[in-house]
Structure 1
Amino acid sequence: MHNPDANQLKPVQKALDFNNTEIAFRGSSDSDLERAYWLFKIISVRFLAKVGPPLTRFAMAIGLPVKLLIKPTIFEHFCGGETIEECEGTVSKLASGNVGSILDYSVEGEEEEKVFDETCAEIMRTIKRADGDKRIPLTVFKVTGLGRFELIAKRDAKEPLNEEEIAEFQRVSSRINLICALAHERTVRVMIDAEESWIQDSIDQLALEMMRRYNQNSPIVYNTYQLYRTNVLECLRQDTKLAFTEGFILGAKLVRGAYMEKERKRAEEKGYPSPINASKEDTDRDYDDALRFCINHLNTIAFVAGTHNQESCQLLAQLLDGKQIKHDHDHIYFSQLLGMSDNLSFNLAASGYNVAKYVPYGPIKAVMPYLFRRAEENTSVAGQMGRELKLIVKEKKRRKMF
């Protein structure tokens, strides 16, 4: 049996200060800081971030021992381990700073039914592992881990499916239901990640169906809303109206979005209007409006604010205080990725807010697409790497003074 309460002693709440590097890096050793410094230095160089993934794939394909380089560096920084058991150290370390873990089996890009069944079984294992352990308040999965991307894209495009494809899609739906039914039985919250816009309608329909079944009394299933898409704030409003009318709780994870360059490129190639907001300012506005909307509908919505944006975190904290909502309200979580924005995660937790970090895990080779995407996303987020590096340098200097 786990003893999660050992790591659940709430600290005295501190005033929120995102520049407090002592709190942000309290769980990081000097060598952890040094590794993070060099990783972010490398990732911040666009050329290296672009050529690194194909070179690594090539090296792995011809049998070079790349894993020996990847595991103690980028993998260890951004992932919890290769198995659920290997994640225990990360779970404990985060919990010591009152930050929860979101176990995320990050295998993707597979095509075989056998692999989809294995992935489904592994996601169910994450739910069983989270059951009864307060240090793991949320779990997560991607629909494309459970079914073929092309099948879902065909259904989204409203192209007729043949009998074999209809049966195949029913298997995808069954896997999702198995996961959500177990989550409901164990009272473990499970988030369904967002994906590309041309498969998202099917994912949204599946998520809403799961919420109708399993969110009658408490938030179990969460769908993800990518606010960099032009129509998603309105979708959030409509889904909230539906949840209120039909009497279930809407689970919503709010993110800006992860496929901007791919989305714009496809829209241009296929000659349809880009589904992505024209500017970062538009996305920031929609994201912050979504936070305000959720706060104003807390009886109907439980939400996770997935963001590395300091201004949005500050806004949500101010909204809670302005409406005298307790910091650890059961319907509100902040969330960031493991290995990034520790200044947000740990300082929010020190001020008594619910915070959980994504803890990706899986065999190194299978998790490589996830790691490559992290590197590519980070270079496209202006200023993100600069902020990470600045805070690491600040903490290294602070430690030298003592």
Structure 2
Amino acid sequence: MWSLVRSLNLRSSLVAPPSSWGPSLSCTGRSCHRTSAHGADSALNFSDGRVFRLKSHWEVVRGLLIFRMCSFPSLVKNSEKLMAVSRRLLGRRLFEWGMRGTVYGQFVAGESLPEIQASMERLRKLGIRPMLAVPIEEDLGEGKAGERWYEQNEAIMMNCVDLSSLGGDRPMMQLKITALMSADLCKVLSMCLSDPSRRKELSPHRIVSIMEGKDARFSFLSEQQNQHLQSSVRRLSRVGKHAVQKQVRVLVDAEYTYMNPALGVVTMAMMAQCNRKEPWIWNTYQCYLKDSFRNLSQELDTAVALGLCFGVKLVRGAYMDKERKLAKVKGYPDPIQPDWEATNRSYNGCLDKLLDLIGREGERYNLIIASHNEESVLHAVRRMKELGIDKHSRAVCFGQLLGMCDHVSLTLGQAGYLVYKSIPYGSVDSVLPYLVRRAQENQSVLQGIRKERDLLHEEWRRRLLGRS
């Protein structure tokens, strides 16, 4: 990771940004054609595997292999152990070579600056935009080597801003608060926010004053916690301001429920600093939580009261199993929706609320529909048409993970919608633990990739048989 930071420092001023974005490329063959970014698109069809003609032979084979592996829950559950054994048996170099050709190559942009830029350029040619994500995070009890670790992460995040700015028009990046602020402190602050008297004291306005240099202290925090809070929110402030300067939108990730209240307050403070004229800082809302619609509505009201623009990344959520286990162990109510249908209602309710706002004030409200669910995507497209939201207005976009749900991403991109791929980057050693954690937290998503696997298989058969 640090080799990339040094490379960016030396080379960012020498690299010209790619040409303007747009779905200018389509596949060859009688069934495919060039799609204008400004033309009217026909009904979206996510069951048409012809979009996979845009992929190379190896990309099709690799996708088939990996999706087949991911369909076995026991394999995903024990992936960390299996990788450790493979590393011992193969040695570091051979293990890394194998990973780069398979799992790492499927889901990661690369490590060096040229590798990452090449990945971004490949996406651009497909009508898809990159949304860079540094795979750094912290959970409870994982406290690193003091402030120095967070300061190093700040430098990495600053360079992620710089790299994102090379990605063409309207660049975005993801940010995990726990890369710059202790997860343990986030939990303490979240607990304090459950107390009405302390909630008033821990307001976005108070956090902004600390960001701007005031030496404010909270009586319910220790001296060490107060110092870390001040250092952390100032790091976040610097990253946010640098992103505005570089014209990069920062999408703050949601994490676990025991940290999210603190993340919400800190993110609102970043918005208060940066979102006066445009929504540069966005927050994430997990619709598998029972209180997601209420939280979204409350924070929308807060943004309106503060005169802020508001950006939202709307997701279903990724930590269901752990959240439910924690609720059972700790004896508090399960925060997760009771079933899939309730989650869908929650997602569509939040989606409709935001689209209604965008239909009236698309300059002040922005949304990324970060979903692999085809019905949610189609629902959003229908609502956009009903509300007269132009897909070229850039107020609404779509997002999926790199290496997954390409039949949706490519179809949207070729139809002229704004589509982003979340792309982690870094060394094999730094990214694999992140990928393992995401895979284990998203097993329900991984088990639902049968359709994409079948479409890839159909495409591979077409190539083997030489069909047009």
In structure 1, what is the equivalent of residue 391 of structure 2? 327
Residues 180-212 of structure 1: per-residue CA shift (max 9 Å, x gap): 011122221011111000011110001111111
8 Å CA contact 1:227, 1:233 repeated in 2: yes
Alignment of 1:180-219 (within 5 A): 180-219=240-279
Alpha-carbon spacing, 1:83–1:118, altered in 2? closer, same or farther (3 Å): farther
| Deviation of 1:244 (Å) | 2.1
Post-superposition offset of 1:388: 2.1
1:296 aligns with 2:356: yes
1:135 CA displacement:
5.6
In structure 2, distance between residues paired with 1:372 and 1:135? 32
CA contact (8 A) 1:226 1:255 kept: yes
Cα distance in 1 for residues equivalent to 2:457 and 2:110: 27
Within-5 A mapping of 1:164-313? 164-298=224-358, 299=361, 300-313=364-377
- Report the Cα distance in structure 1 between the residues aligned to 2:462 and 2:295, rounded to whole angstroms: 46
1:41 paired residue among 62, 68, 92: 68
Alpha carbons 1:306, 1:334 under 8 Å: kept: yes
Question: Structure 1: which amino acid aligns with 2:162?
Answer: K
Give me the whole-angstrom Cα distance separating, in 2, the residues matched to 1:249 and 1:189: 12
> 1:193 & 1:162 partners in 2: Cα distance?
27
Shift in Å, 1:265: 0.2
**Displacement of 1:129:** 2.3
Contact 2:23 2:416 in 1 (8 A): no
SS at the partner of 2:259? helix
Write the distance in 2 (CA, Å) between the matches of 1:261 and 1:246: 36
Q: Structure 2 CA distance, aligned partners of 1:170 and 1:307?
A: 35
- What SS does the corresponding residue of 1:139 show, helix, strand or coil? strand
* Residues 1:375 and 2:439 are matched in the alignment: yes
Separation (CA, whole Å) in 1 of partners of 2:426 and 2:250: 18
Q: Deviations over 1:217-272 (max 9, x none)?
A: 11100010011110111111122222223211111110000100000000000000
Q: Structure 2: 5+ residue runs without aligned partners?
A: 1-14, 25-34, 194-219
**Letter of the structure 2 residue corresponding to residue 47 of structure 1:** S
Post-superposition Cα deviations, 1:146-170, rounded to whole Å, max 9, x if no partner, equal: 1222222122222942101210122
Q: 2:420 aligns with which of 356, 372, 388?
A: 356
Of stretches 374-383 and 117-126 in structure 1, the one that deviates more from structure 2 is 374-383
Partner of 1:100: 129
2:186 pairs, out of 145, 152, 155, with 152
> Where in structure 2 are the equivalents of 1:113-152 lying within 5 Å?
113-131=147-165, 133-134=167-168, 137-152=171-186
Greater gyration radius: 2
Paired residue secondary structure (1:251): strand
Distance of 2:311 and 2:86 partners within structure 1: 42
- Mapped partners of 2:156, 2:53: distance in 1: 32
**Identity percentage of aligned residues:** 29
Q: Following the alignment from structure 1 to structure 2, what is the Cα–Cα distance between the partners of residues 114 and 60?
A: 30
Please provide the CA RMSD for this pair. 2.0
TM-score normalized by structure 1? 0.94
Report if aligned partners of 1:378, 1:384 keep a CA contact under 8 Å in 2: no
Contact 1:108 1:144 in 2 (8 A): yes
Please state how far the C-alpha of 1:144 moved relative to its aligned partner. 1.2
Checking the alignment, whether the CA contact within 8 Å between 1:130 and 1:137 is kept in structure 2 is yes
Which residue pairs with 2:202 in the alignment? none
Amino acid at match of 1:22: R
**Given that residues 336 and 357 in structure 1 are in contact (C-alpha distance below 8 angstroms), is that contact kept between their aligned partners in structure 2?**
yes
Distance 1:136 1:101 in 2: 10
Separation in 1 of the partners of 2:406 and 2:332?
Answer: 39
Any conservation in 1 of the 2:171–2:247 contact (CA below 8 Å)?
Answer: no
Q: CA deviation at 1:341?
A: 0.4
Whether the 8 Å CA contact 1:108–1:367 is kept in 2: the answer is no
Contact 2:300 2:310 in 1 (8 A): yes
Task: Kindly indicate whether the alpha-carbon contact (under 8 Å) linking 1:333 and 1:353 is maintained by their aligned counterparts in 2.
Answer: yes
Distance 1:129 1:52, change over 3 A: closer
Whether the 8 Å CA contact 1:27–1:93 is kept in 2: the answer is no
Q: Report the equivalent of 1:5.
A: 19
Query: How much does 1:389 deviate?
Result: 1.0
Number of matched pairs: 401
Q: Report if the CA contact (8 A) 1:191-1:222 is conserved.
A: yes
Equivalent position of 2:203 in the other structure: none
Equivalent residue number for residue 18 of structure 1? 46
Q: Which runs of 5+ in 1 are unaligned?
A: none
Q: Aligned AA for 2:82?
A: L
**Take 2:221 and 2:240, find their aligned partners in 1: how far apart are those partners?**
25
- Alignment partners' CA distance in 1, 2:376 and 2:427: 34
Alpha-carbon separation, structure 2, partners of 1:378 and 1:393: 23
Mapped to 1, the partners of 2:269 and 2:58 lie a distance apart of 47
Q: Distance in 1 between matches of 2:88 and 2:175?
A: 27
| Stretch of structure 1 that moved more, 141-150 or 64-73 | 64-73
Task: Using structure 2 for the length normalisation, give the TM-score.
Answer: 0.81
Name which of 41, 58, 68 aligns with 1:31.
58
Letter in 1 for 2:155: A
CA distance in 2, matches of 1:28, 1:267: 43
Secondary structure at the aligned position of 2:230 is classed as helix
Say whether the 8 Å CA contact 1:156–1:201 is kept in structure 2: yes
